[in-house]
Structure 1
Amino acid sequence: MIQLQLNKRDFEYDIYSLIKSFYPGKDVTVVYGEEDGTDAELKISVFYEENQITISVFEDGALVLTDSVSVCYEENRKETKNALKRLAYEMLRNLTGTELPWGDLTGIRPTKIPMALLEQGWKNADIAAYMRDTYFTSREKTALAVMIANRERHILKDLNYENGYSLYVGIPFCPSICLYCSFSSSPLKVWKNRVDDYLDALCREIDAASETFAGRELNTVYIGGGTPTTLEPYQMDRLLTKLEERFDYSHLREFTVEAGRPDSITRDKLQVLLDHGITRISINPQTMNQATLDLIGRRHTVEQTVSAFCLAREMGFDNINMDLIVGLPGEGKEQVEHTMKEIGKLDPDSVTVHSLALKRAARLSLFKDEYQDISFQNSSEIMDMTASYCERAGLYPYYLYRQK
């Protein structure tokens, strides 16, 4: 076990995330003040003073590393945080002998930094040097972040930043709850008789939101969840009609409905989406290995994924995304490669690759004692393989999630 000891709560998440990145799979507890954890094999103390932060590392009670950084604590909290993260990263790197590909960029989207610098007129080479020197990012990840930032900038250049906005609509129901899921979602079979009540409340919220955003340009709409296609066709029609009545679509660039689970997709539901001019849907297998689907509680088959995708194509959907998760229980390189090959046969228009991140509220975390025999594998090699398959399919990265 690792103990993080703080005399202030400031920047707790940033330091905690860095420690977890260097020690994946290790339990990290946070204590404050003089509280001590005698059973901790490694203790990392962060002591904040007015103009200085000191980090000390103890192994089995013995001091092995200590260092400080001068800061203007109250004047510039952002720079204070960055200085603290740089110090913590260098000390943890020295302690473990490990380099993190994304350096100390935990908790933020890596493209935010190059994007901001591009807006200031910086050249790509100068941005790359700054990221490597300031955040310790590897050459490969730095190049990726700069490339995607340029791509994002090209996509976003026609959007109205000051007066535009995007709308997210949440449908918190699923056919079943996946083992790894921590989202606020409920099984449809339990709440089926309350879905119309939920839509009543949602429609009132749509009324209020439309008044709040009156006079601004709606650029994109995303209906997510949960699984939005757990709604019956008449319910989806009601929702989409309400949105059309209350919002001006004249500046709309994209409307996505996350169809999600293939076992929730029917011809009638897809027809409702077409009738309302939906431009993009997402069909999310997460994996194309049946044994994994059974294990994680996704009660559908690989064949249902293929059938749902082919049905959507047949009906005229020409912008279909597919979500995949790397690091699912019991899966290694062989299983992930099988998934990539099967997805390649379907030829989706975009693919979103997630790394499994277990949150405390996930059933797999809450009942981890029941799943001790399950192995989890993820690596740079596996992630690089997914990128290679996507590139061969003519798909190129245009977005990066926050790095953990």
Structure 2
Amino acid sequence: MMINVKLNNKEFNYDVYQIINLFFLFPDIKFVEENYDYNIEVKEDVIVIQKGSESYEYIINKSYKRKEEVKKAVFLYFSKHTTDELPWGTLIGIRPSKKALELLQAGLSEEAIIAEFKEKHVTREDKAQLCIDVAKFEKNIVNTKKDNISVYIGMPFCPTRCLYCSFASNPIEKCKDIVEPYLQSLAHEIKEVSSYIQEKKLKIECVYFGGGTPTSVNDEQFEFIMKCIYEGFTEKNNVKEFTVECGRPDSITYKKLSTMKKYGVHRISINPQTMNDDTLKLIGRTHSVGDVTEKFTMARELGFDNINMDLIVGLPGEKITHIIKTCEKILELKPDSITIHGLSIKRASKLHEKMLNNYRFEVPGQEELNKMYEYTVELSKKLHMKPYYMYRQKNMVGNMENIGYTRPGYEGIYNIQMIEEKQTVIALGADAVCKVVFLDENRHERFANIKDVREYIKRLDEMIQKKIELLETLYGSDANELSD
């Protein structure tokens, strides 16, 4: 869909674009001077939106930032012309719970925070309350010490590439020749970064092995890299949490689960995404619902008492009946935490490519999506879980959220630290992003390893050097003297 917009102040182009984008699926929004569909004028006291002979006026509240008022005006205008209920209103940021946490720390009551969310951002009350609930859960866990860090290790391989995926997840059957060189390179990076951490006497709180799918390599390769991670980061560091995102049930074996127990993994994630075989086939997964149950049961029998399961709401072809079945099956398994994702249609995914080429996928409408989310909330209550972390993404079907629920004491600490951006995360592997947090300045800087696996192998020493140079701006001798 082509949408041409005339806007008298280019300062607000991004904000107007983001709000209009909420109401349409893949709109082609362009800012023009003539032949426009909508004319938006931001004046001193009022915002005027015109379409043809129709005119809409919004009186600016000068106690709020001007760009927030522009977003609200555009949101209210388009809300009048659709039956869709977008419960997050104008909140398009990744971390809405951070706003709630800041307001709680400023001494505002829950009622006052909800009122501000509704008035300023047109946020539905239950979503504002969700932000508060997550903020209250997080506030005693969020990092406050510079020398506390987490470590992320990435495995850029998967059994197959899912329809919606945009991550570095190369189908392992197509790149077997580079798996061994990659693991050797990753082992080298682990050794170098481990030495740096020891030298600076940094305290590792969490180690997270993700991907891709860490368990997509064979049993011997998995044992090799797990031993490297253990010796480099967890053996002598008394970490609070060592997580392995097993992910795909078709990649999990008894030997790999035994290896994880051997090297002290605390928490694993087994991610079905849906418990419907027809959907699994459509999205490009080669496992079945039966495989999910089998591998989950195997993990329990081996003594894993902290298992997370990821689910996606809004998958192509899914209806209310599908999400009901998924929730029923997950309730039977009784995981210790669940993470509910809204489908995000990423530009680098096969799903986006196919939709651009007019391949017809049936995606749930807004009202149906809202009901689907309600079923996942009910599932969390039946499992005696509470929301503990949350984030949002662009291009999410239905403008919803990704949210983690947990039984008390089983929350993923790494998830909280990563989302709240108050702890330095040293990331290793292809496409892994290192984030160095300057707590005193309330800012962070990133360094990303190369995404291409072959280039990562070739240029690894260069990346290690650049990563350490960035870390030295926080942990080097001069930096330490300044912070003292």
Give TM class, smaller chain. Answer: 0.7 to 0.9
Where does residue 337 of structure 2 map in the other structure?
350
Measured after TM superposition, the shift of residue 83 of structure 1 is 3.8
Deviations 1:26-70 (A, max 9, x none): x42243564x5x5x7x435477x9xx69865443x5563365859
Contact 1:5 1:30 in 2 (8 A): no
Aligned to 2:172: 188
Shift of residue 71 of structure 1? 8.2
Q: Could you say which residue in structure 1 is the equivalent of 2:311?
A: 324
Structure 2 residue 139 is matched with structure 1 residue 147: no
Amino acid at match of 2:182: Y
* Contact 2:164–2:345, Cα closer than 8 Å, also in 1: yes
* Partner-residue secondary structure (3-state), 1:399: strand
Which deviates more, 373-382 or 126-135? 373-382
Deviations 1:339-375 (A, max 9, x none): 1101111111111111111112211221224631534
Post-superposition shift, 1:4? 4.3
Q: Distance in 2 between matches of 1:11 and 1:256?
A: 42
Matched, 1:281 2:268: yes
Give yes or no for contact 1:101–1:138 (8 Å, CA) kept in 2. yes
Q: Which amino acid aligns with 1:290?
A: D
Query: 2:472 matched to which residue of 1?
Result: none
Separation of aligned partners in 1, 2:308 and 2:66 = 40
Quickly say closer, same or farther: Cα 1:238–1:391, change in 2 above 3 A: same
CA contact (8 A) 2:313 2:369 kept: no
| TM-score (structure 2 length as normaliser) | 0.72
How many angstroms does 1:5 deviate by?
A: 4.9
- Other-structure match for 1:64: 55
> Which amino acid in 2 is paired with 1:24?
F
Residues paired across the two proteins, number: 387
Query: Does 2:390 match 1:400?
Result: yes
Tell me, in whole angstroms, the C-alpha distance in 2 between the residues paired with 1:11 and 1:281: 43
The residue number in structure 2 matching 1:20 is: 21
Q: 1:10 to 1:208 in 2, by over 3 A?
A: farther
Work out the CA distance in 2 between the residues paired with 1:54 and 1:231.
Answer: 59
Q: 2:369 aligns with which of 351, 356, 379?
A: 379
2:251 & 2:72 partners in 1: Cα distance?
47
Counterparts in 2 of 1:68 and 1:278: CA distance versus 1, 3 Å: same
Secondary structure at the counterpart of residue 221 of structure 1: strand
Match of 1:339 in 2: 326
Q: Distance in 2 between matches of 1:163 and 1:289?
A: 45
Q: Give me the whole-angstrom Cα distance separating, in 1, the residues matched to 2:389 and 2:352.
A: 28
Which residue type is aligned with residue 117 of structure 1? Answer: L
Q: Match for 2:4: what amino acid?
A: Q
SS in structure 2 of the partner of residue 200 of structure 1: helix
How much does 1:184 deviate? 2.0
Take 2:160 and 2:114, find their aligned partners in 1: how far apart are those partners? Answer: 44
1:112-168 CA distance string (max 9 Å, x none) = 111112223333233222222222222221122111211112343xx4443322222
Give the counterpart letter for 2:95 in structure 1. Answer: R
Q: What is the aligned counterpart of 1:112 among 69, 94, 98?
A: 98
Unaligned runs of 5+ in 2: 394-398, 400-484
Partner amino acid for 2:376?
Answer: T
Structure-to-structure mapping, 1:44-193, within 5 angstroms: 45=40, 57-59=49-51, 61-62=52-53, 64-65=55-56, 79-96=65-82, 100-156=86-142, 159-193=143-177
Aligned position for 2:459: none
Show CA shifts across 1:279-306 (max 9, x none): 0111011111111111111011111111
Matched, 1:304 2:304: no
Instruction: For residue 379 of structure 1, report the CA deviation from its aligned partner.
Output: 1.8
Provide the secondary structure at the position in 1 that maps to 2:391. Answer: coil
Q: 1:391 aligns with which of 375, 381, 387?
A: 381
Return the letter of the residue paired with 2:384: G
Change (3 A) 1:398 1:295: same
Residue 15 of structure 1 aligns with an amino acid whose one-letter code is: V
Residue in structure 2 matched with residue 75 of structure 1 by the alignment: none
Counterpart of 2:30? 31
Letter in 1 for 2:157: F
Specify whether residues 258 and 114 from structure 1 end up closer, same or farther in structure 2 by C-alpha distance, changes over 3 A only.
same
Q: Is the 8 A contact 2:97 2:132 kept in 1?
A: yes
CA distance in 2, matches of 1:389, 1:66: 43
The residue matched to 1:324 in structure 2 has which SS?
Answer: strand
Task: Supply the RMSD in Å over aligned alpha carbons.
Answer: 2.9
CA separation in 1, counterparts of 2:141 and 2:6? 44
SS class of match (2:123): coil
CA apart distance, 1:7: 7.0
**SS state of the match for residue 321, structure 1?**
strand
Unaligned runs of 5+ in 1: 73-77
User: Distance between the aligned counterparts of 1:81 and 1:198, measured in 2?
Assistant: 46
1:71 to 1:108, Cα distance in 2 relative to 1, 3 A: farther
> What is the rounded CA distance, in whole Å, between the counterparts of 1:56 and 1:28 in structure 2?
22
* Identity over aligned pairs, percent: 37
Structure number with higher relative contact order (C-alpha < 8 Å, ≥ 6 residues apart): 2
Inter-partner Cα distance in structure 1 for 2:10 and 2:219:
49
Shift of 1:93: 3.4
How far off its partner does 1:251 sit? 5.0
Partners of 1:386 and 1:127 lie apart in 2 by 25
| Structure 2 CA distance for aligned equivalents of residues 185 and 228 of structure 1 | 10
What code does the residue aligned with 1:349 have?
D
Residues 198/7 of structure 1: CA separation in 2 closer, same or farther (3 Å cut): farther
Deviation at 1:12, TM superposition (A): 4.6
Task: Give 3-state SS (helix, strand or coil) of 2:96's partner.
Answer: coil
CA distance in 1, matches of 2:105, 2:195: 32
Question: In the TM superposition, what is the alpha-carbon distance from 1:225 to its structure 2 partner?
Answer: 1.2
SS in 2 for 1:300: coil
